[in-house]
């Protein structure tokens, strides 16, 4: 089962409670429970070697307070927006992920500037965790 924790720095969550619905939607999709109408195309950062090697990915999201949800018949690949949920898959323990950030608005323009910081965080605070430490984090599993 895929488990997604939420990044924290200095005791503060990287994603506010209002954004947890997107993390649950991603967890549901990754666990094979179906696609949330708020979660769209999922992609890596293949054009950024460091982010790619760290396993950092993004999925497009629609903002619940602003946008209408995607229609159920819209294929995931065609679900695009300018809002991203950024997350990472652990390099060794592949059932463990961590949500790093929500970037909105202007995610396409902003992400390249933010990736170095997200890579640094991942290297120092997530990639180094053992399976025991990963299991001890609070997780979202979807549904």
* pLDDT tens per residue across span 23-61: 999 999 999 999 999 999 999 999 999 999 999 999 999
Domain contains 143: no
- Please list, in sequence order, all residues whose beta carbon lies within 8 angstroms of the beta carbon of residue 59, skipping any fewer than 6 positions away: 26, 39, 40, 41, 42, 43, 84, 85, 87
Domain contains 36: yes
The C-alpha atoms of residue 79 and residue 59 are separated, in whole angstroms, by 9
Residue with tokens 């054009």: 47
Q: Residue 73 is part of which domain span?
A: 3-136
Domain contains 142: no
Domain contains 109: yes
CA separation, residue 2 to residues 21, 24, 70, 78 (Å): 16, 11, 24, 24
State the pLDDT at residue 10.
Answer: 87
Half-sphere exposure of 3 (CA within 13 A, CB side): 12
- Each residue's pLDDT tens digit, 56-98: 999 999 999 999 999 999 999 999 999 999 999 999 999 999 9
The C-alpha atoms of residue 113 and residue 118 are separated, in whole angstroms, by 10
Strands 96-103 and 3-6 turn out to be parallel
Whether the CB-CB separation of 134 and 90 falls below 8 Å is answered with: yes
Number of independent structural domains in the chain: 1
């Amino acid at each position: 089962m895929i488990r997604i924790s939420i990044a924290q720095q200095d005791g503060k969550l990287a994603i506010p409670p209002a954004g947890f619905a997107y993390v649950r939607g991603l967890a549901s999709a990754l666990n094979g429970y179906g696609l949330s109408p708020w979660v769209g195309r999922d992609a890596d950062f293949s054009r950024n070697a460091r982010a790619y090697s760290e396993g950092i990915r993004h999925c497009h999201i629609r903002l619940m307070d602003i946008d209408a949800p995607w229609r159920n018949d819209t294929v995931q690949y065609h679900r695009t927006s300018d809002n991203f949920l950024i997350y990472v898959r652990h390099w060794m323990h592949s059932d463990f992920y961590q949500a790093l950030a929500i970037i909105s608005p202007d995610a396409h323009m902003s992400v390249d500037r933010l990736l170095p910081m997200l890579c640094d965080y991942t290297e120092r605070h997530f990639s180094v965790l053992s399976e025991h430490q990963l299991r001890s984090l609070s997780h979202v599993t979807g549904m």
